[in-house]
Each structure stands twice: as structure tokens, then as C-alpha cells.
């Protein structure tokens, strides 16, 4: 496995591997502090690609003022070891100066679906994401790019960008990986104090019980499910709900309270963002039409 820090060296390494006939290139973009969620993306990339590249870059332009850019957890040595254990071929770890030698005057911006959910509370966040992901696509030219469904809105936004701009890459959404007790893995989980970590189970718990309520016919409408999610999460005194929404996926159109879950033609996503002190957690689950749900 090669650890590469410059764009020029990365381009030349990928070109060499292409000329040697390694086949499709798979990219897993990350911000590092890798965990089993990232490892599952690397394994999927390994299955589908001859060359697996992961990027580790805490992208300053997707953080707002007062967010955690400076304190975002970092552990390069551990990350490199984990990537190697998953059979990754190239780890790209650029410095901020390498990706942004001058402040970027060009931004990629997806409209509408970035103004709700995480986009509402983190203005400019998705412009930062789509801009850096476009840069990575231009540098690496991957055939496949792998993204986790934990960041479901990010998947919808990137798929929209790829369609709108005719980018020659296939986006592969990958399932959410959870701790044994249900908490979705996230680099930011390390911020949680023990009591917050315990109470953070209300996110996955509310999604799981909502799905059970739909399957058992106890919650038939979107309004009932919204009420269930809010009531369940509010049992945790430390939880501060930022949003608990139901929307069509991947279009991200909010569904009305009167919408009956069994009548839908397209999947509906239950999407949550909840703060515990200074830690903001997200989670979600898809309800498949007519079936009544997947498992959390």
C-alpha cells in the first residue's frame, strides 16, 4: 500500500496502475479517524475495483465558523494501518495547502436539496462537500465512489451532482454500520461523555421502534411517525432534537403528516439529527414502499 500526499504523485500512480491493467478504480473519500463503517466501504470497494484509493482529508471548506474543524479527531498512523488491513492500494493524505493552494474561487453547489436537514443547520456545508468531492473525482477519475448511508443526504446530493454534471462515475451507497447496541458508528462518537453515549441510543431506538410500529399497524401516517420519533428521543433528558423528519428518498421532498406509509411508491427516509452537549449525531432509516421497512 502506498501513502501519497501530492496530487501529481497520485495522478502518476493511478496512471501507472491503469496502464498495467489493474482495472476499475474505486474511491472511498473520508475525513479519517477510521472505524468499521469506513472499513465496510473499503471492503465493498475492494470487491468491485482493481485499484482501491481512499482519501483522508479533513476538508476545511465544509465546516462552518464555530464548528469542530480544528478539534476533529485525527490519528494518521492508526488510519494507515486500518486501510492496509482492508487491502487498500493507495491512501491519499493531502495537506490543506495541497488541495487549496489559494482559497477556491470555484464552488460546486447543488440547489434545493441542500437547503434542508443538515444543510439548514450547516449553511455552506454541502457546497464544501460537493466541491471537494468534485476535486477528488477530477484528480482520481474513479469508476466507482463509495459513500455511507449514515450521511444519506450527502449520498442524495452527490448522486444529484453526478447526474446534473454528467460525471463519469458510479456512486455506490453502502449500508450503515452500527455498534452492537445500535449506535451508528461515527468518528464524532469519541466526543460523547459516558452518560451522553448511553442516551445516544435514542436515535437508533426511535428508528427501530418506528419501524416496528409501522409493521404492526400502530403508526400508519407520517404524522404519527414524526410524533413517535420526537416522543422517543425526548425521553433522553440530554437530547436536543435538531430535526426528526420524513422525506422521500432520494428526492428529499418532505412528506405531509397525512401521508400513509403503506401507500407510498418510493422509499421514505426517517432522518434524525440530535445534539448531546457539543456533539451532533445523525442517523436515519429507509422505509421501503409497501414492505414496511428495513432493519435498524
Known binding site for (R)-pantoate: residues?
Answer: 62, 154
Nearer to ligand ATP, 8 or 96 (CB): 96
Smallest CA-to-CA distance from 296 within 146, 178, 173 is with 178
Q: Is 40 in the site for ligand PAF (CB under 6 A)?
A: no
Nearest residue (CB) to ligand PAF, 42 versus 261: 42
Q: What is the rounded CA–CA span in Å between residue 192 and residue 279?
A: 7
In the bound complex, what is the minimum distance in angstroms from residue 256's beta carbon to ligand BAL? 29
Shortest distance, CB of residue 31 to ligand BAL, whole angstroms?
A: 6
Query: What track of x and - describes contact with ligand ATP for positions 6 through 45 (by CB under 6 A)?
Result: ------------------------xx-----xx-xx----
Work out how close the CB of 86 gets to ligand ATP at its nearest, in angstroms, rounded to a whole number. Answer: 13
Q: Is 147 in the site for ligand ATP (CB under 6 A)?
A: yes
- Does residue number 154 form part of the binding site for ligand PAF (CB under 6 A)? yes
Say which residues have a Cβ less than 8 Å from residue 34's Cβ, sequence separation at least 6: 56, 78, 79, 82, 83, 187
**Judged by CB under 6 A, does residue 134 bind ligand ATP?**
no
Binding characters for ligand ATP, 40-69, by CB under 6 A (x = yes): xx----------------------------
Q: What is the DSSP string of 241-264?
A: EEEEEEEETTT-PBPPTT-BGGG-
Residue 202: which H helix or E strand, with range?
A: helix 201-215
What is the b/e burial string over 179-217, where b = at least 16 CB atoms within 10 angstroms of the residue's CB? beebbbbbbebebbeeebbebbebbbbbbbbbbebbeee
Indicate the angle between helix axes 7-19 and 125-140, nearest 10 degrees: 50
Binding window for ligand ATP (CB under 6 A); candidates: 13-21, 121-129, 148-156, 288-296: 148-156
Active site residue 228: no
186 contacts ligand ATP (rule: CB under 6 A): yes
The answer to whether 196 contacts ligand BAL (rule: CB under 6 A) is no
**62 contacts ligand BAL (rule: CB under 6 A):** yes
Element of type H or E holding 15: helix 7-19
The CB-based long-range contact list for 44-47 (8 Å cut-off, 24+ gap) reads 44/146, 44/172, 44/174, 45/88, 45/144, 45/146, 45/172, 46/86, 46/87, 46/88
Q: How far apart are CA 261 and CA 263, in angstroms?
A: 6
CB 76 within 8 A of CB 55: no
Number of residues that bind ligand ATP (CB under 6 A): 18
Considering only 79, 89, 127, 151, the residue that binds ligand BAL (CB under 6 A) is 151
79 in contact with ligand PAF (CB under 6 A) = no
Binding residues for ligand PAF, rule: CB under 6 A, are 29-31, 59, 62, 129, 132-133, 151, 154
Catalytic residues: 38
Amino acid at each position: 500500500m502506498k501513502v501519497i500526499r501530492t496530487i501529481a504523485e497520485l495522478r502518476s500512480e493511478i496512471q501507472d496502475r491503469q496502464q498495467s491493467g489493474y482495472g476499475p478504480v474505486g474511491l472511498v473519500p473520508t475525513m479519517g479517524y477510521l472505524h468499521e463503517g469506513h472499513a465496510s466501504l473499503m471492503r465493498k470497494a475492494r470487491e468491485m475495483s482493481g485499484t482501491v484509493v481512499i482519501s483522508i482529508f479533513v476538508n476545511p471548506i465544509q465546516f462552518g465558523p464555530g464548528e469542530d474543524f480544528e478539534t476533529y479527531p485525527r490519528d494518521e498512523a492508526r488510519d494507515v494501518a486500518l486501510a492496509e488491513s482492508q487491502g487498500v492500494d493507495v491512501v491519499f493524505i493531502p495537506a490543506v495547502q495541497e488541495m487549496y493552494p489559494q482559497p477556491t474561487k470555484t464552488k460546486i453547489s447543488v440547489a434545493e436539496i441542500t437547503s434542508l436537514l443538515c444543510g439548514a443547520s450547516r449553511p455552506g456545508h454541502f457546497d464544501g462537500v460537493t466541491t471537494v468531492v468534485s476535486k477528488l473525482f477530477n484528480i482520481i477519475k474513479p469508476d466507482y465512489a463509495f459513500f455511507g448511508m449514515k450521511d444519506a443526504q450527502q449520498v442524495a446530493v452527490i448522486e444529484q451532482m453526478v447526474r446534473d454534471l454528467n460525471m463519469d462515475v458510479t456512486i455506490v451507497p453502502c449500508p450503515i454500520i452500527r455498534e452492537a447496541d445500535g449506535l451508528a458508528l461515527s468518528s464524532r462518537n469519541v466526543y460523547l461523555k459516558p452518560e451522553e453515549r448511553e442516551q445516544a441510543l435514542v436515535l437508533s431506538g426511535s428508528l427501530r421502534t418506528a419501524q416496528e410500529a409501522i409493521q404492526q399497524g400502530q403508526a400508519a401516517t407520517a404524522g404519527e411517525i414524526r410524533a413517535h420519533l420526537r416522543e422517543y428521543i425526548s425521553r433522553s433528558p440530554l437530547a436536543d432534537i435538531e430535526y426528526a423528519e420524513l422525506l422521500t428518498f432520494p428526492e428529499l421532498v418532505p412528506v405531509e403528516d397525512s401521508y400513509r406509509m403503506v401507500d407510498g411508491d418510493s422509499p421514505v427516509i426517517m432522518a434524525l439529527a440530535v445534539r448531546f452537549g457539543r456533539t451532533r449525531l445523525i442517523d436515519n432509516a429507509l422505509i421501503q414502499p409497501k414492505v414496511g421497512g428495513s432493519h435498524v
